[in-house]
Amino acid sequence: MSAPEQVRQAAASAVNALQALSGVVAVVVATADGFDIASHLNRGIDASRIAAMASSISAIGAVVGQEGKLGTCRHVTIGTTDGFVHLCTVPRADGDLVVNVIADGGAILAMVAYSTAEQVRILAAA
């Protein structure tokens, strides 16, 4: 099995694990430059738009970490009136990935953050 195929399978497994969490309405694993690798979506959400958005937000997080001399950005969480978006960077030698989880008000941020961090570790090692 080739490395890209291993990454795609790991991304699909990550999506399956995260979409099972209560309140999660979308999960997109994307390349750092904004291309969808694996996704699970509800509510008519467009994976390619989410992947592009995640790329931009991840880039902003990276600049904030760099300019603030805080080191590498690992995750960004955006709270909204009806839920939150949690993005995590997956550092990889062959190109970083971004895991984007969109959740409604029924989700528990700590559970999503913990589970996403677990999947990031798996994806980083794939």
* Alpha carbon distance 98, 31 (integer Å): 6
* Alpha carbon distance 36, 53 (integer Å): 11
* Alpha carbon distance 98, 69 (integer Å): 22
Task: Specify the fold of 3-125.
Answer: Beta-Lactamase (3.30.450)
Q: What is the pLDDT of residue 43?
A: 84
Q: What is the pLDDT of residue 3?
A: 52
Q: What is the pLDDT of residue 2?
A: 52
Q: What is the pLDDT of residue 61?
A: 92
- Could you list the beta-strand ranges (E) of the chain: 24-31, 36-41, 75-80, 83-90, 97-104
Q: What is the pLDDT of residue 6?
A: 78
Domain range list for the chain: 3-125
Q: What is the pLDDT of residue 70?
A: 94
Contact (CB, 8 A) for 24 and 88: no
Q: What is the pLDDT of residue 42?
A: 87
Q: Which of 108, 100, 90 is nearest to 21 (CA)?
A: 108
Contact (CB, 8 A) for 92 and 124: yes
The CA-based angle 84-12-92, given to 5 degrees, is: 85
Strands 83-90 and 75-80, by their bridges, are: antiparallel
Q: In a structure prediction context, what are the per-residue pLDDT tens digits for the chain, which is 126 residues long?
A: 455 887 888 888 888 888 899 999 999 999 999 999 999 998 889 999 999 999 899 999 999 999 999 999 999 999 999 999 999 999 999 999 999 999 999 999 999 999 999 999 999 998
